[in-house]
Amino acid sequence: MSTAAKFYFGFFILVFLTGCGATPGLTTTKKTLPNAPTYTYIDTKGNTYSISQNKFIYDPVSEDDTIDGIDDEGYHQEINISLNDYAKIAAACDRQFQETQKELPANYNGNVIPTLLRRYPDRTDELTLSIEGVDELDYILIPYLGDE
């Protein structure tokens, strides 16, 4: 086969693969962190935030147009997140486990005791959060919910 024929054959294969949606030389292996924990954060109103390596799930205690006397807390959301986003959230959660949490004040009037769970395959760590801990986690997590 001549050099020109090899070139045209290679070019044809490249065009064919690209036309089929394949990208030669590019792999799409999804990276994960081995033994990375999942986190569940329950805020002072009872809203639940579940974080895994690729998903952020928000379950509000109450949705729009409620008549149960509980504030509107938005809608259930499941958001795909990057490994980088997971690492940022995990670092904020792990920081709470490292810091000494102050007891909730006697005049605390939240509906629920704020809690953070960190689940590994073989154990679960649980932490009652201080108001400062709640503020720090809210600061990191609320922007993922958009306009909710």
Domain boundaries, the chain: 1-30, 33-145
Residue 55 has pLDDT above 70, yes or no: yes
Percent of the chain with pLDDT over 90: 52
pLDDT in tens, 101-133: 999 888 888 778 999 999 999 999 999 999 999
Q: If you average pLDDT over every residue of the chain, what do you get?
A: 80
User: Residue 113: what pLDDT?
Assistant: 93
* CA triple 26-29-88, angle to 5 deg: 115
User: Residue 28: what pLDDT?
Assistant: 47
Q: Please report which confidence band the pLDDT of residue 5 belongs to, taking 50, 70 and 90 as the band edges.
A: low
Write down the pTM of the prediction.
Answer: 0.71
Residue 95 has pLDDT above 50, yes or no: yes
User: Residue 10: what pLDDT?
Assistant: 54
Q: Where are the beta strands (DSSP E) in the chain?
A: 38-42, 48-51, 55-59, 77-80, 115-119, 124-128
| Least confident segment among 50-64, 69-83, 84-98 | 69-83
Sheet harboring 115-119: ordered strands across? 77-80, 55-59, 48-51, 38-42, 115-119, 124-128
Q: Please report which confidence band the pLDDT of residue 26 belongs to, taking 50, 70 and 90 as the band edges.
A: very low
- Other C-beta atoms closer than 10 Å to the C-beta of 79 total 14
- 24 or 110: which leads in pLDDT: 110
Residue 32 has pLDDT above 90, yes or no: no
